Amino acid sequence: GRLGCLPVLNCHPWEGISASIRLGLLAAKDADGALFAVCDQPRLTTESILRLLDSFEKSPEAIHALSWQGRRGNPVVFPRALYPELLALTGDTGGSAVLRRHPERLRLVEAASPGELEDVDRPEDLAH
């Protein structure tokens, strides 16, 4: 799109996370990889996302996940080779199911700070 992104309307949100994954992958089916992020990590930095993308460029057949001290978090980049498995997900199942089937492909990428992986669900969570 004009702003560098392509919004995709999910007309079936009751189908769970898998519907969002399918819509995103189908919209970007020609990409070498797909980065999946959650919307509740406001401390996530551009620096960490660039580290993640750099790691993917160096090893494009692996799954790359942002982490802190060995603990996997989000975002996660999946290679195109795993698109069929992601497209086959159903219900409220996300990419973690595919990741569990391919632990040997996982590459952890250290975030710039631990707070980047924290979920913020309420305004008071920002104070911590």
Does residue 11 form part of some domain? no
- Tell me, yes or no, if the pTM score tops 0.85: yes
Mean pLDDT is lowest, of 4-8, 82-86, 93-97, for 4-8
Does residue 14 form part of some domain? no
CATH of the domain at 110: 3.90.550.10
Does residue 22 form part of some domain? no
Does residue 54 form part of some domain? yes
Domain extent for 116: 33-127
The residues that bridge with 78 in the sheet, in sequence order, are 34
Look at residues 18, 24, 48 and name the one whose alpha carbon lies nearest to residue 108. Answer: 48
Into how many domains does the chain fold? 1
In this predicted structure, the answer to whether residue 90 has a pLDDT above a threshold of 60 is: yes
In this predicted structure, the answer to whether residue 76 has a pLDDT above a threshold of 80 is: yes
Does residue 122 form part of some domain? yes
Does residue 69 form part of some domain? yes
Report yes or no: 45 and 116 within 8 Å, Cβ to Cβ. Answer: yes
Does residue 52 form part of some domain? yes
Q: What is the mean pLDDT of residues 64-86?
A: 96
pLDDT tens digits along 25-67:
999 889 999 999 988 899 999 999 999 999 999 999 999 999 9
Look at residues 10, 18, 24, 118 and name the one whose alpha carbon lies nearest to residue 77. Answer: 24
